[in-house]
Chain A
Amino acid sequence: MLYVQMLVNGIMLGALYACLAIGFSLVWGVLNVINMLHGSLLVLGGYLTYTAWHDYGVHPLIALFAVAFALFLLGYAIQRILINRVVDMPVLVTMTLTFALDLILYNFMIVYFTATPVRVTLNLGVIDAGGIFVPVDRLAGMVLALLLTGLLYVVLRRSRIGRAIVAVRMDRSAAMLMGIRVEHIYAITFGIGALMAGATGAVFAMVYPMTTDLDFTFLGKAFIVCIIGGLGSVQGALVGGLVLGLVESIAGQFLGPQYALTAGFALMLVLLVAMPTGLTGVKGFE
C-alpha cells in the first residue's frame, strides 16, 4: 500500500513539475533564451490568483484564465520591447537581461505582496481509495496541468501560429524565407512561456503556500525537468516532469526525505553525460 501511495504521490507531483517547466523549455528551445524570469512569473501568477480570490472573491479556476492572459501580454511586451534587442547575442547576454528583470520583478513582489506565505484555501477534500489517499486539489491540479500541456501540444501541432513556432525552432533562416515574421513569433513564444507560468502559478496557489522566495526553487525545478526530458518540446517537459516527480518520491521513501532533491540532481548529472539531449530531446538541442 505504501508503494502505491508513493507512485501516486510521484505522478501527481510530476504532472505539476511538467506544467512548471513547459514554458521555460519552449522559450529555451525556440529563442535560445534561458529565461531567468520564469520562476518569478510563476510566483506572480500565484499571487495574482490569490489576490483575485481573497480580495475580490473570484474563483481561482476563473482567475486562472485572466491571469494567464495578463501574463501572456506581459511576456509578449517584455520580449518585444527588451529581449528582442539582444536576442541574437550570446546566451549569456539574454540570461543576464532576464536575471536583471527577475530581480526587478522579485523586489516589486516583495514590496507589493510582501513575502508572507499565502494559500488559496479551497480544501476540496481527499479521495480515500482503499487506503490510498488522493487529495482532490492536487488531483485537480494534475488534471489542469495535463490539460494545459495537452492544449499547448495541440496548439503547436495544429494551429498556424504553432506550426510557425515549430518552424522557427527547427530553422530560423528557412522560416524567414517562408515569410514567417520571426520577431513576432519570438514574442508570441515568450508570451506563451509567460502564459504557462501564470497558469501554473494559479494551479500552485491552490496546492502550495506561495511566497515570493519560491522563484528560484521553481526555476531550479524547471532546469532539471528540461535537462531530464529534453528541450523545446511539450513531450520533453511532460516526460521530464513525471520522471523527476517519481524519482523524488521514490528516493524520499527509500533513502529519506533529505536525499529526494539529491536524487533528482544526480539523475540530471547522469543524463548530461550520457544523453545530453534528454530522454526525448532532439539532436541539436543539447
Chain B
Amino acid sequence: MKFVSRHCLWLAFASAIAVMALSGAPAQADDVIKIGAPLALTGPLAVESKKQEVVWNMWVAKVNASGGINVGGKKMNVKLVEYDYQSDGQRAAQLAEKLITDDKVNFLFAPFGSGHTKIVASVAERYQMPLIACSSSAETVYNQGFKYLFGLLAANGASNAIIVKYIKTKAPSIKSIAIYGRDDVFPKSMASGVAEAAKAAGLNVAYNNYYPVGTIDHSSGLSAIKAAKPDWIYVTGYTSDLILIRKQMSDLGVTAPVVTMVAGPAYKEYTDALGNLANGITSWTWWHPAVNYQGVGVWPTTQSFVKDFVAKEHVEPDYIHASCAAAGVILANAIERAGTLDHQKVRDALASTNITTFYGPIKYAANGLNEAGSIPIIQIQNKQIKVLYPDGVKNADLELMK
C-alpha cells in the first residue's frame, strides 16, 4: 500500500512535469524569436566579439522592454542564443549548424570579421537562413552569390577613392604617397586599393610594400619610406601594428604632411597607447558617434543609442558597436514588414530594405552589401576623434602634420 501510494506520487509528479514541459515548450517556442550568434568570446578575436555580444544583449533588452517585435499583429520577445567558437573559423561553422538544427533559431547574426562571416554564410545559405553581418566589408564575402547574407558596413573599395579625392582636394600640395600594408586579407586589400586609387588620381606612388603578419619591428620599411620622402604616408594593419608603426615613425623621424592609418585610429585604445603621437593621424571609419541620424527602431536617433551605450559601458561606442546594434534594428524592421518569421519572406523583406537607422541609411545591393553606407573620414586632434567628411556631419577641418 505504502509502495503503491509512493509510486503513484512519483507518477503524478512525473506526469505534472511532463504536462508542464509539453504545454510550456511550444508556447515558449511560439512566443520568442530566437536569434543565433556564434561569438569568438575567447581567442584572438575576443575583444571585437565581446563588442558584438554587449550590443546584441543591449538590443534584446531594449526590444523586450518595449513589448517585443510585432509579428503579424502579435508581439514577440527576442532571445539571443550564443556559443563561443573560440576564434576558430571551422568551429564557428559547426556551431552555426548546431544553432540552426539543434537550437532551431529563427535567424542568425554573423561572427566578427570578413573571414569568419564568409564561413558561416556558406552554412546559412545551405539552410536558407537569413544572416545579418555587422562587421564584414570585403567584397569577396558578398560576391559568392549568397541570397541570405545581408551586411551593414559599406564596401571597402569605395573608401579608397573617397579618401584620395578628399586629401587631394584639401591638400593640393600632396603629390606622392608611400603605402605600407600588412600582408593579410583586409589590410592588403586596402593597401592595394589605395595604390590604384592614388595612381588613378595622378599621385606618384613613391613606395608600396607589405609587411608580414607577425612583424615586431618596422625599422627597415620605415627607413625606406623616409628615404622616399613622400607627402602622404598610408599604412594599413590592425591596432597593435599601427601603434607600433606610429611609435617607430616617431623614433626614426619619419614624417609627412598627411599620415593615414587604417583602421586603428577609430578605436580608443589606439589613442590611449600613443598619447600625443596619435595627434594628426587621419583614418576613415564606417560610423562615428558624432554622426546624427534619425530613423526607425528602438533607437530613433544616433544620440539615443550613444546615450544608452555610454550609460551601460561608460565609454563611447565605436563602429562595431553601432553596426552590430543596427543589425538587430534592421532584422526587427524586416520581420515587422514581413509579418511572419518565415525565412523566405523575411529574406525578401531584408532585400527590399530602404530605411534610415541611428547607424545611417541602409539599402541593399543585389549582393547583400549596404550600398547606402557612408564612410566618414576622421582625424585625431588633441587626442579626440574629429570627423572631417562627409560635410553633413563634419566637426573639424584637415590639419596637416608639418
CB of A110 within 8 A of CB of B42, answer yes
Q: A107-B42, A220-B214 are in contact. Are A252 and B47 (CB under 8 A)?
A: no
Q: Contact flags (1/0) for B263-286 with A, using CB distance below 8 Å?
A: 000000100111111000000000
Number of A interface residues in the complex (CB < 8 A): 42
CB of B223 within 8 A of CB of A9, answer yes
**A6 to B252 Cα, complex, angstroms:** 11
Q: Contact flags (1/0) for B176-212 with A, using CB distance below 8 Å?
A: 0000100100000000000000000000000001111
Q: A2-B227, A117-B240 are in contact. Are A208 and B216 (CB under 8 A)?
A: yes
Judge if B44 is at the interface, Cβ distance under 8 Å.
Answer: yes
CB of A211 within 8 A of CB of B214, answer no
| Partner of B239 from A107, A117, A208 at Cβ < 8 Å | A117
Judge if A257 is at the interface, Cβ distance under 8 Å.
Answer: yes
CB of B275 within 8 A of CB of A115, answer no
CB of A260 within 8 A of CB of B220, answer yes
B45, closest chain A residue (CB): A115
CB of A261 within 8 A of CB of B217, answer no
| Partner of A257 from B215, B250, B272 at Cβ < 8 Å | B215
CB of B269 within 8 A of CB of A116, answer yes
Chain A nearest CB, measured from B5 CB (Å) = 52
- Across chains A and B, the number of contacting residue pairs, with CB separation under 8 Å, is 113
Q: A107-B42, A135-B251, A209-B240 are in contact. Are A217 and B220 (CB under 8 A)?
A: no
Q: List B contacts of A38 (CB < 8 A).
A: none
CB of B252 within 8 A of CB of A257, answer no
Q: List A contacts of B47 (CB < 8 A).
A: 114-116
Q: List A contacts of B239 (CB < 8 A).
A: 117, 209
Q: List B contacts of A217 (CB < 8 A).
A: 214, 216
| Partner of B273 from A107, A121, A251, A252 at Cβ < 8 Å | A121
Q: List B contacts of A252 (CB < 8 A).
A: 219-221
CB of A253 within 8 A of CB of B220, answer yes
Q: List B contacts of A258 (CB < 8 A).
A: 183, 209-212
Q: Contact flags (1/0) for B215-251 with A, using CB distance below 8 Å?
A: 1111111011001000000000001100110011011
B277, closest chain A residue (CB): A123
Judge if B46 is at the interface, Cβ distance under 8 Å.
Answer: yes
CB of A209 within 8 A of CB of B275, answer no
Q: List A contacts of B214 (CB < 8 A).
A: 217, 220, 261
Judge if A5 is at the interface, Cβ distance under 8 Å.
Answer: yes
Q: Contact flags (1/0) for A213-251 with B, using CB distance below 8 Å?
A: 110010011000000000000000000000000001111
For window 108-124 of A, CB contacts with B under 8 Å fall at 110-111, 114-119, 121, 123
A residues adjacent to B (C-beta < 8 A): 2, 5-6, 9, 13, 107, 110-111, 114-119, 121, 123, 126, 128, 133, 135, 138, 208-209, 211-214, 217, 220-221, 248-253, 256-258, 260-262
B residues adjacent to A (C-beta < 8 A): 42-44, 46-47, 50, 180, 183, 209-212, 214-221, 223-224, 227, 239-240, 243-244, 247-248, 250-253, 269, 272-277
- 9 further A-B contacts with Cβ under 8 Å, apart from A111-B42, A126-B253, A212-B44, are A9-B220, A117-B239, A117-B269, A123-B275, A123-B276, A217-B214, A217-B216, A252-B219, A258-B212
